[in-house]
Amino acid sequence: MSAKKAAIQNLVIYGLFALLASWVFTLTADFPQPLLPGYPGSAMFPRLAVGLMGLFSTLGFIRELFRLMSGRSPLPVERSDTEGGLGSRSGASGAVLSCIVLMLFVAIIEYVGMEPAVFLFCSFMTYVATRRVGASLVSGVASVLVVYLVFVQGLSVFMPLAFLPRYLSW
Amino acid sequence: MLEQFVPALWLAIDPVNIALIVLGVFIGTAFGILPGFGGSQALALTFPFTFFMEPASAVMFMLSIYSGAEYGGSIPAILIKTPGTSAAIMTMLDGSPMALKGRPRRALQISNVSGVVGGLLSSVIFIFTASGLAWVGLQFGPSELFAVGLLGLTIVGGFVGKEPVKAFIGCTLGLLLATVGDSSFGGTRLTFDQPFLYDGIPLIVMIMAFLAAPEAMRLMLAAFAAAREDHGERTVAADDLVKSGANDGFGFRDVPKILPAALRGGLIGTAVGALPGPGPTVAAVLAYNEEKRWSKQRDLFGTGVDDAIAAPESSNNAVVAGALVPALALGVPGTGAIAILLGVLVSKGIVPGPTLFTQGGPLAMAIFIGLILCNIALLLVGWFGIRFFVPIAYVPAKILAPFVLTLLVVGAYAYDNSVVQVVMFLVLGGFAIILDKFGFSPLPVILGFVMGPIIETNLGRALIINRGDFVAAMSHPIALGLLVLAAVIVAASFFSFKPAKA
């Protein structure tokens, strides 16, 4: 990433945080008023937090602007644009795919049960990464067993189960 | 505090707690071996297991995982030149050459013993300094405790990441997120009429989203890109260890030789750990550099010198107890892992701070004894069980990543048996990944989130005592001094930044 692009990126980020701080500050106007005179109301601490956020964002914005105008570059953002990282094209598509599959996993877990959901999720993700059907199936089954034995049997976590308690329970 | 020793000892040596400590050391070491998973990530992933434990058991379990993870990072660093944790990079500098010379077991045992020496030294220092600091803390009123909290956050902001402004913004974001939900001053805040937000954002969801999700996503992307297919090829050093059952030169009689370096490293680690922000990596770097500066073998550093492995390993393990000092005594966590430990205490209804030492019963002393037991377990596990951990270093990311993501989702679900928490985790995790991409470290966000309620409570009390007059509340000499120091740190961090010429 070029120095100019990085500086512009930082400008946008600081600007967004300054906007966020301003917006939340306006929201605090609707917070309950202090119960008694001299008591801090519910708005006091959030205002302090967003006040500081606004201050730091503005300072960062000004410095980034100065940096852009004087031709100085910001320090490189680490670990973002390496091959396969989130900043690369392949990394971004991988992240989007992971997010979509994760959302589907969460969406179906209460309808189809924990075992099929975990199996499908782990098998699919392993298949995408390895392109090996056998490894994917083993990964899916092992994950289901570990989650079931540790969380359901070991820690007594209530989970929407489809069939395992009928065959594997004590 | 010493009068609590006997009840604390009974609490610590409870068979369940001993079993949890040993289990925690195993789990932590295994996590530490996996590249990308440090103490914070290991604790974030195992946090859900503590829902079902007593407070003392939960803290001992988490401490043993943290200690194990800090040690575990050195195993792949020595054997396959792939540090499991960032702090283990310094161990790799001499550990890997020693292993390649055919002495992997010696390197691993030096790492193990010196880590234990550092851990024990800092545990002893912890008990004396923490109770002393807690006494100082007891002299503080709410104004001073508010100022201490704010100062802690500014120190963290000044140390974390390359751009302090981003770290400071992260702290304020954490403080803001901590205000979501019911307010102790009446009404609800930032809930947008969503009932699931009335209780606020659960700490476990925040921790998993900000500390574990970015790392899990990176692991998943690495799997997709096949960038880390096998976490390093099987090396001669690893094969030597697996095949050789013989001791290759380091025995208990050799311990005195590395003891001075380990003690120096331990002292550095304890001091660095007590500062909010720097963490084990800075401690390891400092310890290595200091050892190199004073060593008669300084020219041989980098070729496999015993002291060069002992000092950084000792220091990075000593950080654990060192960081507990301000965390338990003043409620100021210095690292992400310690913030999670404080989160465990808070989730059990225990407020960290000076009163923990005076009104918390034997818990504080039990934590100290637990730390010693952790180190003993670490010594035994590391000394006798090392060959069982070696295969973990070869688990490929493409197998591991989907399982880690599954654990995160199931862990979030287990908190409340509800998909709502999982959705919250996904949203916050996505946000954390985006912040991470733009150079925002997740650590200040978590520290701000953990310390937010403590800071707000103390500020509220200070204002009530002073009838709502903020200036009067903060004009107490100590509070004012701490706030001025915080302002100086912010200013120094801001102005010391020197951008490179394009």
Residue-wise pLDDT tens digits, B447-496: 889 888 888 888 888 888 888 888 888 888 888 998 999 898 888 887 76
**Which residues in A lie closer than 8 A to residue B438 (C-beta atoms)?**
9-10, 13, 77, 80
| Of A93-107, A137-151, B1-15, B365-379, minimum mean pLDDT range | B1-15
Min Cα separation A75/chain B (Å): 6
pLDDT at B439: 86
Q: Which of A81-90, A146-155, B257-266, B331-340 has the lowest mean pLDDT?
A: A81-90
Interchain pair B417, A72: CB under 8 A: no
ipTM beyond cut 0.95: no
Most confident segment among A12-21, B198-207, B229-238 = A12-21
Nearest to A129 among B172, B398, B456 (CB): B398
Q: How far apart are CA A79 and CA B437, in angstroms?
A: 7
Q: Please answer whether residues B165 and B494 qualify as being in contact, where contact means their C-beta atoms are separated by less than 8 angstroms.
A: yes
Residue B386 CA neighbour count, 13 Å, CB half: 30
pLDDT score at B19: 92
Residue B259 pLDDT > 50: yes
| DSSP assignment of B399-442 | HHHHHHHHHHHHHHHHHHT-HHHHHHHHHHHHHHHHHHHTT--H
Residues of chain A contacting B220 with CB distance shorter than 8 Å:
94, 98, 125, 129
pLDDT level of residue A164 (50, 70, 90 thresholds): confident
Distance CA B347, CA B363 (A): 15
Q: Do B499 and A48 touch (CB under 8 A)?
A: no
3-state secondary structure A89-102: HHHHHHHHHHHHHH
Q: With contacts defined as CB-CB under 8 Å, which chain B residues touch A87?
A: 437
pLDDT over 90 for what percent of chain A?
A: 29
- State residue A47's pLDDT score: 93
Straight-line distance from the first to the last Cα atom of chain A, in angstroms, rounded to the nearest whole number: 57
**Tell me: the pLDDT tens digits for A37-70?**
778 888 889 999 999 999 999 999 998 888 888 7
Our CA dihedral for A77, A78, A81, A82, rounded to 10 degrees, sits at: 160
DSSP B436-469: HHTT--HHHHHHHHHHHHHHHHHHHHHHHHTTT-
In this predicted model, what pLDDT tens digit does every residue of A68-95 receive, in sequence order?
A: 887 765 555 544 444 455 566 666 777 8
Contact A84 B225 (CB under 8 A): yes
List the beta bridge partners of residue B19: none
The pTM of the whole model exceeds 0.95: no
Q: Do residues B94 and B258 lie in contact, with contact meaning Cβ atoms separated by under 8 Å?
A: no
Residue B381 to chain A, least CA–CA distance (Å): 22
CA distance B96 to A118: 39
Q: Using an 8 Å Cβ cutoff, are B173 and B472 in contact?
A: no
Q: What integer is the mean pLDDT of B424-451?
A: 88
Give the dihedral sign, CA B466/B472/B478/B480: positive
Contact B446, B206 (CB under 8 A): yes
CA B51, chain centre distance (Å): 19
pLDDT, residue A26, reads 93
d(CA A72, CA A4): 8
Residue of B116, B108, B65, B42 whose CA lies nearest to B387: B108
Residue B77: per-residue pLDDT: 79
* Phi, psi of B2, rounded to the nearest 5 degrees: -65, -20
Most confident of B240-244, B370-374, B497-501: B370-374
Residues A24, B176: C-beta atoms closer than 8 Å: yes
B502 pLDDT band, cuts 50/70/90, is very low
